């Protein structure tokens, strides 16, 4: 991995307003870890640094020229009016550099239309000038771009688990030297552990995406710094796609949108991320797979942390620039870890006697975590072919509440839980779960997908249970006070060794407090 620098003479040439053949009052110079950008009048000149980082190689003029040509061609797919041409810097016989002299080519620059910096999406967000409607328009734009993006058997191979794993392995290898500088060992190791677990357990999801044709020639670098939106017209320009490595551009379309959704969340705008994603999915034929989105958001955050770490290791940036890069890298790595820790799904049983508040507690947990909640009362009546709100007030253990029907109900609950876990989704099962064997079946489903398994036991004093059961309810339940003693006698209370995490909640107090504590214990 080489870190050569662009010759100072070349930089001075681009910094001189007299070098240009169009009006230039002054030149603003910015740089990334791989490029110099010179903002000159109405145009931007982008010069690639002569670096070889393994995943990209700009070490020779020929390689920089090829990358510059590819950058123009690929970016014109989505922003055709911004990427204008190539500009060659020549050296004449007297050793002078110029754009016009037909002599030895010294350097190549991509020439772009200069867009107002105040229209940069990151700047608009900071100024509070972005509304969800703007992001919905952008979601539709990206969905259209993906629909037109090329795909082929060759491109599809880049969505294989082998390639995805290689990308992650490269990330971990290239950031190991930054442990103690821009990330901690815990972050590095924990992220590695969670990512490897997800790839091992959910290999079938990657195969499914390939079979569905969702591996395409994408953008590869959708971030708010490189998206410009005119607040007046709503016109959006998406710049700077990955041209230097097909492995980073040929990807799952989910990986592409995950870059922008991660960036928006990183900036504290979950609402904008949601608007973008909602419009994207509404405008495409793709399906939501939240676990894969989290997986790729973790990946994108880790890559951003890695890229900012590279700035710390370079000679060119100032002390202030390196300090800012260090801070940003740390926050991106922390973001990556936070998403990685959410990859392991939870299977939560909400357990208790009738009247103990199981359903309300389940709904609170669902609202806080986003996990789907399944109710045994609804499942039981669906299996019986009757409406959920149709009463079946029968003696304890008879009719649709017989042991046969109860076994069937719990098998159906576990089956649906398996389907959710197979997508990497957490699920909450609301039922009395009065038998150890039924809880054991649910736990086996969690073990199969290496999901975290937990039991939330809802309890309340007898007088509270009876008072609740004596009141009319709008919930789908046939529970009533005369069945309470029979159910209590048949209830097999959970032991601590039944779950990795057993949370016992007295629901006779404040439900909001109970829900918050359970959520913190189970889903954070």
- Same domain assignment for residues 407 and 489: yes
Q: Are 109 and 87 spatial neighbours (Cβ–Cβ below 8 Å)?
A: yes
Helix/strand/coil for 108 = strand
pLDDT score at 402 = 86
333, 402: one domain: no
Query: Coil, strand or helix: which one is 31?
Result: strand
> Count of CB atoms within 10 A of residue 501's CB?
14
Q: What is the CATH number of the domain that holds 192?
A: 3.90.1200.10
Measured between alpha carbons, how far is residue 20 from residues 88, 100, 107, 318, 456 in Å? 12, 9, 15, 27, 70
What pLDDT score does 485 carry? 80
What is the predicted pLDDT for the residue at 488? 86
Domain with 11 in it: 2-114
CATH code assigned at 7:
3.30.200
**458 and 314 together in one domain:** no
Strands 83-91 and 97-98: antiparallel
What is the crossing angle of helices 185-201 and 161-175, to 10°?
170
Instruction: Tokens for 189, please give them.
Output: 């190791």
Classify residue 396 by burial, with Cβ atoms within 10 Å: 0-12, 13-18, 19+.
Answer: middle
- Which residue's entry shows tokens 């492995």? 247
208 and 279 belong to one structural domain = yes
Residues 375 and 393 in one domain: yes
- CATH, residue 407: 3.40.50.300
Q: Tell me, yes or no, whether 57 and 127 share the same domain.
A: no
Task: Please indicate, yes or no, whether residues 374 and 323 belong to a single structural domain of this protein.
Answer: no
Domain termination residue (choose one: 62, 93, 114): 114
The answer to whether 227 and 130 are in contact (CB under 8 A) is no
Instruction: List all residues 6 or more positions away from 413 whose beta carbon is below 8 Å from its beta carbon.
Output: 374, 376, 379, 429, 431, 442
Q: Quick one: 260 and 237 in the same domain?
A: yes
| 422 class by beta-carbon count within 10 Å (0-12 exposed, 13-18 middle, 19+ buried) | middle
**Which one of 59, 79, 114 terminates a domain?**
114
Residue 494 three-state SS: coil
Largest Cα–Cα separation, the chain: 104
Collect all residues with Cβ–Cβ distance below 8 Å to 386 and sequence separation of at least 6. Answer: 392
Average pLDDT of the chain is 91
Q: What is the pLDDT of residue 489?
A: 86
* CA nearest to 286, candidates 343, 203, 209: 209
**Rounded Cα–Cα distance for residues 145 and 249 (Å):** 13
Q: Are residues 331 and 363 in the same domain?
A: no
* 180 and 219 fall within a common domain: yes
Q: Are residues 272 and 127 in the same domain?
A: yes
Best CA proximity match to 511, nearest among 383, 365, 292: 365
Are the C-beta atoms of 143 and 280 separated by less than 8 Å?
yes
Quote the strand ranges of 55-103, DSSP E.
83-91, 97-98
* pLDDT tens, the chain, 524 aa long: 566 789 999 999 999 999 999 999 999 999 888 999 999 999 999 999 999 988 889 999 999 999 999 999 999 999 999 999 999 999 988 889 999 877 788 999 999 999 999 999 999 999 999 999 999 999 999 999 999 999 999 999 999 999 999 999 999 999 999 999 999 999 999 999 999 999 999 999 999 999 999 999 999 999 999 999 998 888 999 999 999 999 999 999 999 999 999 999 999 999 999 999 999 999 999 999 999 999 999 999 999 999 999 989 888 788 999 999 999 999 999 999 999 999 999 999 999 998 888 988 999 899 888 899 999 989 988 888 887 677 767 666 677 778 898 999 999 999 999 999 999 999 999 999 999 999 999 999 999 999 999 999 999 998 888 888 887 665 556 666 777 887 888 899 888 788 778 888 888 875 544 445 555 556 65
3-class state of residue 81 by DSSP: coil
Spell out the residues 6+ positions from residue 2 whose beta carbon is closer than 8 angstroms to its own.
51, 52, 59
What residues contact 111, with CB distance under 8 A and at least 6 apart?
43, 44, 45, 46, 84, 85, 86, 87
On whether the CB atoms of residues 27 and 42 are closer than 8 A, the answer is no
Contacts of 440 (CB under 8 A, 6+ apart): none
> How many structural domains are present in the chain?
3
Q: Which of 311, 341, 371 is the last residue of a domain?
A: 341
User: How many whole angstroms separate alpha carbon 34 and alpha carbon 58?
Assistant: 9
Tell whether 222 and 154 lie within a shared domain.
yes
């Amino acid at each position: 991995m080489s870190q050569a620098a662009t010759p100072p003479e070349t930089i001075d040439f681009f910094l001189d307003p007299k070098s240009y053949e169009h009006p230039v009052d002054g030149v603003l110079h910015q740089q990334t870890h791989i490029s110099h950008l010179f903002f000159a009048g109405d145009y931007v000149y982008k010069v690639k640094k002569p670096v070889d980082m393994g995943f990209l190689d700009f070490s020779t003029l020929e390689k920089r020229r090829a990358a510059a040509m590819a950058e123009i061609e690929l970016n014109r797919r989505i922003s055709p009016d911004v990427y204008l041409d190539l500009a060659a810097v020549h050296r004449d016989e007297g050793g002078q550099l110029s754009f016009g002299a037909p002599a030895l080519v010294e350097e190549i620059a991509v020439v772009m239309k200069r867009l107002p910096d105040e229209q940069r999406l990151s700047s608009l967000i900071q100024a509070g000038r972005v509304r969800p409607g703007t992001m919905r328009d952008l979601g539709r734009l990206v969905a259209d771009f993906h629909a037109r993006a090329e795909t082929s058997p060759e491109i599809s191979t880049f969505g294989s688990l082998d390639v995805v794993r290689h990308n992650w392995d490269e990330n971990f290898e290239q950031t190991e030297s930054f442990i103690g500088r821009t990330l901690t060992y815990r972050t590095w190791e924990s992220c590695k552990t969670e990512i490897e677990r997800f790839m091992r357990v959910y290999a079938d999801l990657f195969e499914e995406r390939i079979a569905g044709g969702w591996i395409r020639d994408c953008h590869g670098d959708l971030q708010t710094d490189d998206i410009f939106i005119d607040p007046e017209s709503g016109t959006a320009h998406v710049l700077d796609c990955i041209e230097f490595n097909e492995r980073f551009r040929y990807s799952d379309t989910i990986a592409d949108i995950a870059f922008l959704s991660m960036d928006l969340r990183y900036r504290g705008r979950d609402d904008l991320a949601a608007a973008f994603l909602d419009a994207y999915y509404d405008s495409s034929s793709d399906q939501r797979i939240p676990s894969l989105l989290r997986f790729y958001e973790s990946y994108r955050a880790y890559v951003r942390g890695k890229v900012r770490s590279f700035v710390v290791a370079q000679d060119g940036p100032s002390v202030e620039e390196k300090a800012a890069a260090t801070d940003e890298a740390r926050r991106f790595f922390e973001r990556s870890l936070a998403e990685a820790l959410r990859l392991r799904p939870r299977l939560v049983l909400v357990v208790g006697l009738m009247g103990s508040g199981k359903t309300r507690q389940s709904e609170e947990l669902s609202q806080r975590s986003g996990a789907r909640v399944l109710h045994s009362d609804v499942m039981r009546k669906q299996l019986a072919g009757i409406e959920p709100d149709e009463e079946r007030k029968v003696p304890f253990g008879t009719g649709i509440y017989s042991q046969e029907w109860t076994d069937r109900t719990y098998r159906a609950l576990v089956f649906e839980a398996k389907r959710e876990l197979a997508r990497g989704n957490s699920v909450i099962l609301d039922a009395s779960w009065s038998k150890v064997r039924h809880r054991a079946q649910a736990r086996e489903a969690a073990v199969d997908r290496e999901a975290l398994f937990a039991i939330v036991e809802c309890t309340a004093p007898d007088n509270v249970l009876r008072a609740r059961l004596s009141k009319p309810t709008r919930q789908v339940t046939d529970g009533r006070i005369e069945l309470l003693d029979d159910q209590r006698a048949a209830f097999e209370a959970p032991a601590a060794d039944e779950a990795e995490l057993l949370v016992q909640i007295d629901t006779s107090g404040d439900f909001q407090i109970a829900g918050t504590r359970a959520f913190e214990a189970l889903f954070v």
